[in-house]
Amino acid sequence: MLKILKYFGTIKHFKLPDLGEKIKEATIVKWHVKEGDKISEFDPVADVSTDKMFTQIPSSFTGVIHKRYHKEQDQCQVGELFVDIDVDEASSLSNHTTQTTQQPSPIPIPKPQIASKPTPQRESLLQRISPSAKYLAQLHNIDINDVKGTGIYGTITKDDISNYQNQPKQQQQTTSTSQSQTIKMSDFQKGMQKSMTESNTIPHLYLQEEIDVTSLSSFREELKKQQNITFMTLFIKSFSLALLQFPILNSTYDPSAPFQFITHQDHNISIAMDSPKGLVVPNIKQVQNLSILEVQQQLNKLKKLGDESKLGPNELNNGTICISNIGTIAGTYVGPLILPPQVCIVGIGRVVLQPRFIAGSYQPRKIIYTSFGCDHRILDGATIARFQNTWKQYLEQPEQMMVKLK
């Protein structure tokens, strides 16, 4: 009875699901299951990376892993076979059959092959490396030929890669005959290349301004007595308030429909973030409906997911406008590039203490510098300047922002 059920479809084909954002393929970074493992619905099957995200693929079935179709670091197309899962239908039906002395056939497990110890000559031709070490080496562009393996038969382990990274540069021996080398881009670097290449086709309009955030800094210090609120949170919420008066900035544009654009009611504000894997741009959904505290909570959540490389489609898709706070690292003015299909981005520089002439005398003031990059096919300079003035008023006079909050 069990064999008949298997022929009639207890083996479920699980394909790589649609990841959104027109993603066509993904790199398998790490398998969480092997053939013969039991798995429940929603359990993680594998970690994958694309040119836009790093995420986990959950199982759609409960059962036993029957077959994996790819190895780690393989490319898999969306819709391509990922794993086969022997679901629990057969075992549940077998509970209603009469028990017999015949035992069900176990899942075939390949017999282990006993490998002879490689000779020194063979070791020189084949570099052994664990999957996790291979991934770490590719992530940091490390030539594995420069790393000495300490595992069995000289296998390079994850610890070997980490120890190599921590060595002083002069101790990192190289076997290269030239100082130049070809570096393969990571999936995230590929994503940045694609989006910025597309962005470079957009006619950009730039506007730069300085904003006095001295009063905002004092306002923030008062808020911090109750809750740690960052400058970025106040920038995001005040930005959303200004968008209510200038909704055209919160638009997306598709060049294939050249004489129309889409304006969005929801302020899904994208935040350019530095992460261990490079630039990521998740977004906070519906900022117009969030309090200052809720914005801070969402920002903390995105930062944590980014640091753990767990940002998924829900965090990365459907952004409508972008803020890049490069000032957390360095810099004052910046020339930001739009993230298509959005039509506006603003870069914020670091807070600088500057003298300003006020009421007959020079006073020390905290100044930030903002740089707008806008799609000139949709937005004109006057609209951007008026939006900038409104946003500036909220930042320089935070009491005006508080009046507008719901």
Question: Rounded to whole angstroms, how far apart are CA atoms 140 and 165?
Answer: 9
Average pLDDT, the chain: 84
Q: What share of the chain has pLDDT > 70, as a percent?
A: 84
Mean pLDDT across the stretch 323-346?
A: 92
The answer to whether 380 is a known catalytic residue is yes
pLDDT digits (tens, 9 = 90+) for 376-399: 999 999 999 999 999 999 999 999
What is the phi/psi pair of residue 104, to 5°? -65, 150
Catalytic residue among 37, 254, 266, 380: 380
Superfamily of segment(s) 188-404: Chloramphenicol acetyltransferase-like domain (3.30.559.10)
Quick check: 292 and 234 in contact, CB under 8 A? Answer: yes
Please check the confidence at residue 72 and state whether its pLDDT lies above 80.
yes
What is the structure's pLDDT at 116?
39
Place 88 in a pLDDT band, splitting at 50, 70 and 90: low
What is the structure's pLDDT at 171?
53
Higher-pLDDT residue of 25 and 210 is: 210
> What residue spans define the domains of the chain?
10-87, 188-404
Catalytic residue among 13, 32, 264, 376: 376
What is the structure's pLDDT at 127?
58
Question: Rounded to whole angstroms, how far apart are CA atoms 323 and 344?
Answer: 9
pLDDT digits (tens, 9 = 90+) for 286-303: 999 999 999 999 999 999
Q: What is the pTM of this model?
A: 0.64
Please check the confidence at residue 104 and state whether its pLDDT lies above 90.
no
Give the number of other CB atoms < 10 A from CB of residue 337. Answer: 18
What is the structure's pLDDT at 186?
78
The answer to whether 43 is a known catalytic residue is no
Quick check: 299 and 155 in contact, CB under 8 A? Answer: no
Question: Rounded to whole angstroms, how far apart are CA atoms 260 and 262?
Answer: 7
Place 351 in a pLDDT band, splitting at 50, 70 and 90: very high
Please check the confidence at residue 125 and state whether its pLDDT lies above 70.
no
- Say which CATH architecture domain 10-87 belongs to: Beta Barrel (2.40)
pLDDT digits (tens, 9 = 90+) for 184-194: 887 778 888 88
Cα 37 off chain centre by: 29
